């Protein structure tokens, strides 16, 4: 997710995820994959990779630091949201 939205919030982040599920994933899988626990486990793993590799360990231009921090915060919140709301812990 290479957004440059400096006003990105968890709610708008979740809107993007839900839009992808409705528009792309359902067609791809021929069902709503978000009803399956494994889907959320996979997204949890993807979230951790994004946090650690794409955002945490990558080099960023000085002009991109604010956008990176916003994305990092949203991915962390999304990670926690999946655990709380989809995996029941």
Query: Has residue 14 been placed in a domain?
Result: yes
Q: State residue 65's pLDDT score.
A: 85
Query: Has residue 1 been placed in a domain?
Result: no
Give the domain range for residue 70: 10-85
CB atoms near residue 78 (< 10 Å): 22
Contact by Cβ (8 Å): 6, 67: yes
Q: State residue 1's pLDDT score.
A: 54
Q: How many domains does the chain have?
A: 1
- pLDDT per residue, tens digit, the chain (89 aa), is 567 778 889 999 899 888 888 777 667 777 788 888 998 999 999 899 988 888 877 788 888 888 888 888 999 999 999 999 999 85
Query: Has residue 47 been placed in a domain?
Result: yes
Helical (H) or strand (E) element with 73: helix 65-85
Helical (H) or strand (E) element with 48: helix 37-49
Query: Has residue 2 been placed in a domain?
Result: no
Query: Has residue 61 been placed in a domain?
Result: yes
């Amino acid at each position: 997710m290479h957004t440059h939205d400096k006003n990105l919030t968890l709610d708008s982040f979740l809107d993007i995820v839900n839009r992808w599920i409705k528009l792309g994933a359902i067609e791809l899988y021929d069902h709503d994959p978000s009803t399956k626990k494994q889907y959320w486990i996979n997204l949890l793993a993807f979230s951790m990779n994004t946090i650690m590799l794409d955002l945490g360990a990558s080099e960023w231009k000085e002009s991109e630091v604010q956008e990176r921090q916003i994305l990092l915060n949203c991915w962390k919140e999304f990670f926690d949201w999946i655990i709380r709301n989809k995996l029941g812990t």
